[in-house]
Structure 1
Amino acid sequence: MPKKKNFPLRLDPELYAILERWAQDEFRSVNGHIEYLLREAAKKAGRWKEKPRPSRGEKE
């Protein structure tokens, strides 16, 4: 798996609290949930192209 890009993100405390509860409901970390939401938005906007998954037994 490629390394993930780290960067600081400043959020309104109220928004963070909402994301924290939402992430808990989805059994994700806040970071993982933000990444999920951004990926889904990129897909919806037609900007995310799914990479083909390797067949079973193949290395990624």
Structure 2
Amino acid sequence: MAPKKSFPLRIDPKLYEALERWAADEFRSVNGHLEYVLREALRKAGRLPNQPPSPEENTDS
């Protein structure tokens, strides 16, 4: 597996608490859940290499 990039993140404590609860509901760590949420947002926007947005997610019709 490729090494992961580390970087500091400043986040509002209330936002972090909500993220922490959401991650726990999905049985993920906060870090893993952030990565999942970001990957899904990038995929839906067609911003990941070789992964265009799916037609049902494209609302530009």
Q: In 2, distance between residues paired with 1:34 and 1:20? A: 10
Say whether 1:18 aligns with 2:18.
yes
TM-score normalised by L of structure 2: 0.79
In the alignment, is residue 7 of structure 1 matched against residue 32 of structure 2? no
TM-score w.r.t. length of structure 1: 0.80
Q: Give ranges in structure 2 of 5+ residues lacking alignment.
A: 52-61
Cα pair distance change 1:50/1:18, threshold 3 Å? farther
**Percent of aligned pairs sharing the same letter:** 69
**Partner of 1:27 in structure 2?**
27
Q: Which has the higher helix share?
A: 2
Matches of 1:50 and 1:13, distance apart in 2 = 35
Name structure 1 gaps, 5 residues minimum: 52-60
State the 1:44 CA deviation.
Answer: 0.5
Give the deviation of 1:29 after TM superposition: 0.1
Match of 2:49?
Answer: 49
> Which residue does the alignment assign to 2:40?
40
Question: For this pair of structures, how many residues does the alignment match?
Answer: 51
User: Any runs of at least 4 consecutive aligned residues in structure 1 with deviations exceeding 6 A, and if so which?
Assistant: none
Shift of 1:48: 1.1
- For 1:40, the aligned partner's letter is E
Shift in Å at residue 22 of structure 1? 0.2
